[in-house]
Structure 1
C-alpha cells in the first residue's frame, strides 16, 4: 500500500472504530473515551488486524495534548478554585503525595529505579478532568457544593501536573534518565533546572502582561468582521502558535503553552463563543489523542502481570479514594462530600497518559510501566460510574449506624452551631436564608441594608467562615438535615428563603421548617419555569422565577415610561 495514504488509513480506521466502540460504551453508560481507547488498541501494532502508523499517531497525539490542555486552560477558573481553596489546595496536594508514595512504594518493591517510581507514582495520583466533569454533569452535581469541591480539587491536581511536566525534562538526568534535546550532564543539572524555572517564569510573565491583552484584542478585531470561520481560525491559531512559541522561544513544553493560551482566551469577552466554536475541533483531536494512547497499550500486560495490574487498580480506586475521603472528613465536611470527592478521584486519565509518555521519552519509565498505567486507566474509568452509583447506598448505610455517622461527621464541629456572640433576641423574627450563592448574596445584602435580621444556612464551610468574619450569623451544613435548621433557630423565624436548588431538597427543607414552625412563611427562588409551576401546584410557598421577575420589572418600567410620556405630553 502506498506510503502517502498512511494518514488516511489511520484517520479512517481510528475514527470508524472510535465511533463504534464509543457508541457501545455510551449505551453501557460508560464514558465514550473507553471506546476510543479500545479503538486504538485494535489498530495498534500489539494486536492482529489493521495496523495504524504509530509515528503518525504520536504526532496527532501531540496535537491532541495541545488541544486538551487548551481546553483545561479555558475551563480553569481561579474564582471557582478560591471558593473551595481551604479544602481543595491542601487536600489535593496531600492526596497527590499519598498516591505518589503508594505508587513509588509498590514499584520500588518490583525493583524499579527511583526515577521510574516517581513518574509512575505521579501518573497514578491525578484523576481525569474529562471523566469527572461528565460524571458530575450526568448526575446534576456540577453546580453543587460537592461538585465545586471535586472540580476545585482537580484544578489543583491539574496545576501540579502542569508543574511536573515542566520540571521532569529539566531533572531527567538527575533522576537517572536522559534529556529530550540538548544533552545535560550531572555537573550542570542544577543550572539546567534553574534556567528552566526562569524560562517558565518569563513565559508566564509574558502571557500575563502581553498575551492577556494582545489575544483578546485580536479576537475583538476579528469578531467585528462577522466571519465565523475567521474567528474560529483566530482561536485555533492562538492555541497552536502560543504552544509552539512557548516551546521555541521559552523552551517550555507545548502543553504548558496551550494551557496558558486557553487561560488568556478565557479572559476575552468572546470566551463563550470561542469555547463553543472550537469545541468540535478540540473534541476531534481529543478523540485522536485517546486513540493514539490506545495504540501504545499492549493488552498482554493484563495476562502476563495480573498482580501488578491489580496493585495499580487498588492504588487508584482504594488508596486514593480512602486518602481523599479521610482528608475531606478531617476538614470537617460531611460524609456525603467525602464520598463524592472520593468517587471523583477513583480513576486516572489524560494527564496520566501525558506524564507516562513523557517519562518514556525521557528514558525514565519503561514500556511496562506505561502499559500498567494504561491498564489502570482503562479499568478505573470503566468502573468509575459504578463507584458513583454506590455513593448513595454507602451514605445511607453510614447514616443508619448513627454512632459511625456522628464519629465521621464530627458533631462537635463549631461551624455547625451559631457562635455564642449571636444575641438571643437576634434569633427571633429573623429571616433564614438557605444557600449563599448569587441569589442568596443579593437578598442578604438588601435585607442587611434595611437592618433586617438574617441567618444563613450554607453547605460550603469556607463561605460560612467568611460570613462569620464579616459578623453575619451563619451555620454550616445541609439544610435537609433538621439539626441545621434547628441551629438557625427556624422555630422562631419569620421567613424562610430558599435559593435555587433541587426540587426534592426544597420539599425536605420546607417539611422540616413547617414541622418546627407551622406559621413560617416560605419564599422559593425556582431554577426553571417547570420547577416554579411544580412548587406553585404543591403550594409549598411563594415562588419567584428569575425570567418571570425580569419580564415583570421590565414591563412595569415600560408602562411607567409610557404613562410618564403621556403625562408630560403637551395638550392641544
Structure 2
C-alpha cells in the first residue's frame, strides 16, 4: 500500500537531520536548520514535498504541543501576575506598532487600507519561535521572558478583531458587533478553563494516575491539550493560545512535570514540522530579485518594532535594560501574520507580489529571532550607557526610588527576589541581619512592600540604584538573577563603586565562572556544578561515608576545577542557613589534638553544640559514650547537630598536638 505522505516525512527528516548536524557543528541555532531545510524541500526550492497540506497539519500539532509544554511551566498565579504587561503593555504595543508601520507604509506610497493591513501584520510577534528560543536558553521564567510572553498573548487575542477588520477595509461589509461576540465567547472559554483548572482536571488526573497506567495518563494529557485547544479555536482564538492555556490547566493539577515528560518527545518531533513548514513558505526568487529592498525592509521592520515595543515596556514601569531585552525578543513577525496577509490578498487589498514580498520579510525576521535574543543582553548594555533622563532609565511609570528609612551599615544587598533572593532575605531576617532588596519587577516590589520587606524598584547594574541601597557601607552583596549578562554588569558596577564589598554571584553554567571572577566576584555559585556536588554528597552519606571524607572529596574536585577549594558555595535551599539537626560522621585524624582526651575534656556538647551519639572503633561500636570516655586516633565519631557547628569542630580536631 502506497502512503505518499510517508515519503514526504522521510525527506523532511533527512534534510532536517543534515541541517541540524551542520548547525551543531557551526554552533548556529537549531531553528535555522529547520527553516533552511524547509526552503530546500519546499515548493519554491527542490519541490520534493507534495503533501504540503498534510505537513501543515502536522505543523499545527507541533505548535499546539510546543505551547502546551510552555504552559505547563507556568502557573495560574504567574499568568495573573502578568496583567500589567499583557493589558497595558500589549495594548499600547499593538496600537503603537500598527500606527508606526501604517504611517511608514503610507509614506512609502501604499494606499491607506493597504498600509493599515501591513501595520497589523507587522504588529504581531512570533510566539512559538520566541518561546522555543527562550526555553532552549532557560529564560522563559526571566522577567523579560514573562513580559514578552504577556505581550505576545495579547497580540494573539488581538488577531481576532484584526481579521474581522480586513474585509471592512476592503469595503466588503461586515459588522463590528462580530468582534464583541467573538471576544465575549473568548471570555466565557477562559472562565470555564479556570474552573476546569481548579475543580475538574486535578480530580480527573488523580483518578487516572491512581490506575498506574502510563499509557492512560499520557493519552489523557494529550486529550486535555488537544481538547482545550480545539475548544478555544471554535471561539475564534488560536489553537496555540488554547494549547498554552491547556498547559496552565494541567500545571495547576500537580501532575504537570509527569505530563511534561510524556509530551516532550512528541513536541520535539512535531515542532520540527512547524519550523520546516515556515521555511517552505519562503520563495528565494523574491529575495534574489530585490535583495537590497528585502534587507532594508527587514532592518526597518526590526528597528521600528524594537523601538516601539521597548518604549512601551519602559513607560509602563520597567527599566531600560529589561525594555531592551523584551523589545528585541518581540522584534520579529508572527506566523499569524500569514493568515492576516492571506485575508488581505483574498479581499484584494494586497496584490500577490506584495503578499509574497511580505512573506519573505516575515520568514527572514523569524529566522533572525535566535540572533536577536542572543544579542539582546549586549545591546542592552550599550543602550544603558547612553545619556537619558532618569525617569526612562528606571522605568517611566515605576515607583520612585526611596532612601532607606534608617541608615544602613554592615548590611546585605540582595539583587533579585526570586527563590534564592527570598531564602537569603529569610536567613538574614531570622538571624537579625539588616538587608535591602533591589528588584526590577514593579509588581513584586509593590506586593513585598505591603508585606514589610525592605525592597525598592531599580536596576542593580546602575550605580545610582546601588547608592540608594547604601552600597558604600554594606558588607555583602548577593546577586541571584538568572540573567548572565545582567549578573556580570552588576558585579562590575558594585566592585567599581565599592572595592571592599564581598560579592556572591549566582550563575547557571560553569562557563560564566571566569568572567565573573575577572570582574570581581568573591564567590560564584554555579548551579550545575554545586548540584553535582550536592548529589554525590548525598549518595555517599547513604553509604555512611564520614562528613570530613565527603568534604575532602568535594574540595578536591573544587581544586581541580577552580584552582583552590571553597571557591563556590552551595545554593541549595536545604540545610544552608536553617540546617536541620543532621547525623554527621567525623574521623579523628592521626595526631589530632583531641586524641587521648576524654569527652569531658573536649567539651563537645557545650563548646561545639554537638551531641556525641556513638563511636566506631575498628569493628566495635560504643553507643552513647560517657564523659570519661577517651577519644583515640582513627575513631569515627557519630555526632548530631547543625552542619556549621560540625564544620567548626572538624577544623578544631585537625589541629595537631
Normalised to the residue count of structure 1, the TM-score between the two structures is 0.77
Partner in structure 2 of residue 570 of structure 1: none
Is the aligned partner of 1:158 residue 2:152?
A: yes
**Aligned partner of residue 433 in structure 1, secondary structure:** strand
**Structure 2 CA distance for aligned equivalents of residues 466 and 215 of structure 1:** 30
Cα deviations by residue, 1:10-59 (Å, 9 ceiling, x for unpaired): 21222222222233344444332333233333333334442422333343
Partner in structure 1 of residue 258 of structure 2: 273
Is the aligned partner of 1:377 residue 2:362?
A: yes
Partner in structure 1 of residue 572 of structure 2: 546
TM-superposed deviation, 1:274:
1.1
Deviates more, 1:372-381 or 1:552-561: 552-561
User: What pairs up with 1:53-132 in 2 under 5 angstroms?
Assistant: 53-80=51-78, 86=84, 89-108=87-106, 109=108, 111=110, 114=113, 117-132=115-130
Change (3 A) 1:234 1:551: farther
**Aligned partner of residue 545 in structure 1, secondary structure:** coil
8 A contact 2:160–2:236 mirrored in 1: no
Change (3 A) 1:27 1:90: farther
**Structure 1 CA distance for aligned equivalents of residues 240 and 568 of structure 2:** 51
Structure 2 residue ranges without an equivalent (≥5): 505-520, 534-557, 586-609, 615-622, 625-657
Partner in structure 2 of residue 528 of structure 1: 527
Partner in structure 1 of residue 413 of structure 2: 432
8 A contact 1:81–1:88 mirrored in 2: no
**Structure 2 CA distance for aligned equivalents of residues 167 and 17 of structure 1:** 38
8 A contact 1:42–1:48 mirrored in 2: yes
TM-superposed deviation, 1:271:
1.0
**Aligned partner of residue 53 in structure 2, secondary structure:** helix
TM-superposed deviation, 1:268:
1.9
User: What pairs up with 1:277-316 in 2 under 5 angstroms?
Assistant: 277-306=262-291, 309-310=294-295, 312-316=297-301
Partner in structure 1 of residue 470 of structure 2: 489
8 A contact 1:66–1:254 mirrored in 2: yes
Change (3 A) 1:303 1:230: same
8 A contact 1:334–1:409 mirrored in 2: yes
TM-superposed deviation, 1:235:
1.6
Partner in structure 2 of residue 456 of structure 1: 437
Partner in structure 1 of residue 22 of structure 2: 24
**Structure 1 CA distance for aligned equivalents of residues 195 and 178 of structure 2:** 25
Q: How many residues align?
A: 545
**Structure 2 CA distance for aligned equivalents of residues 191 and 460 of structure 1:** 37
8 A contact 2:86–2:154 mirrored in 1: no
Partner in structure 2 of residue 205 of structure 1: 191
Cα deviations by residue, 1:365-405 (Å, 9 ceiling, x for unpaired): 6554543343223322444455456556656656776x569
Is the aligned partner of 1:243 residue 2:229?
A: yes
8 A contact 1:523–1:544 mirrored in 2: no
Partner in structure 2 of residue 181 of structure 1: none
Deviates more, 1:231-240 or 1:405-414: 405-414
User: What pairs up with 1:256-405 in 2 under 5 angstroms?
Assistant: 256-306=241-291, 309-310=294-295, 312-330=297-315, 333-353=318-338, 355-356=340-341, 367-388=352-373, 390-391=375-376, 394=379, 403=387
TM-superposed deviation, 1:106:
4.5
Cα deviations by residue, 1:198-249 (Å, 9 ceiling, x for unpaired): 432333333222465333333222222333333222222222233334556x
Change (3 A) 1:448 1:315: same
TM-superposed deviation, 1:410:
6.5
TM-superposed deviation, 1:447:
4.7
Partner in structure 2 of residue 234 of structure 1: 220
TM-superposed deviation, 1:96:
2.4
Q: How large is the RMSD of aligned CA atoms in angstroms? A: 4.6
TM-superposed deviation, 1:60:
3.1
8 A contact 1:124–1:315 mirrored in 2: no
Change (3 A) 1:265 1:524: same
Structure 1 residue ranges without an equivalent (≥5): 179-184, 568-572
8 A contact 1:498–1:524 mirrored in 2: no
Cα deviations by residue, 1:522-550 (Å, 9 ceiling, x for unpaired): 99793537369589977999945316727
**Structure 2 CA distance for aligned equivalents of residues 322 and 511 of structure 1:** 32
Change (3 A) 1:82 1:26: farther
**Aligned partner of residue 457 in structure 1, secondary structure:** strand
Match of 1:409 among 393, 396, 416: 393
8 A contact 2:345–2:352 mirrored in 1: yes
Higher relative contact order (CA 8 A, sep 6+): 1
**Structure 2 CA distance for aligned equivalents of residues 255 and 412 of structure 1:** 33
8 A contact 2:35–2:275 mirrored in 1: yes
Partner in structure 2 of residue 39 of structure 1: 37
Partner in structure 2 of residue 196 of structure 1: 182
TM-superposed deviation, 1:320:
0.9
Change (3 A) 1:214 1:393: closer
Is the aligned partner of 1:8 residue 2:6?
A: yes
Cα deviations by residue, 1:283-305 (Å, 9 ceiling, x for unpaired): 22222223333333333222445
**Structure 2 CA distance for aligned equivalents of residues 209 and 258 of structure 1:** 16
**Aligned partner of residue 456 in structure 1, secondary structure:** strand
- Please say which structure displays the higher CA radius of gyration: 2
8 A contact 1:318–1:346 mirrored in 2: yes
8 A contact 1:81–1:155 mirrored in 2: no
**Structure 2 CA distance for aligned equivalents of residues 202 and 395 of structure 1:** 40
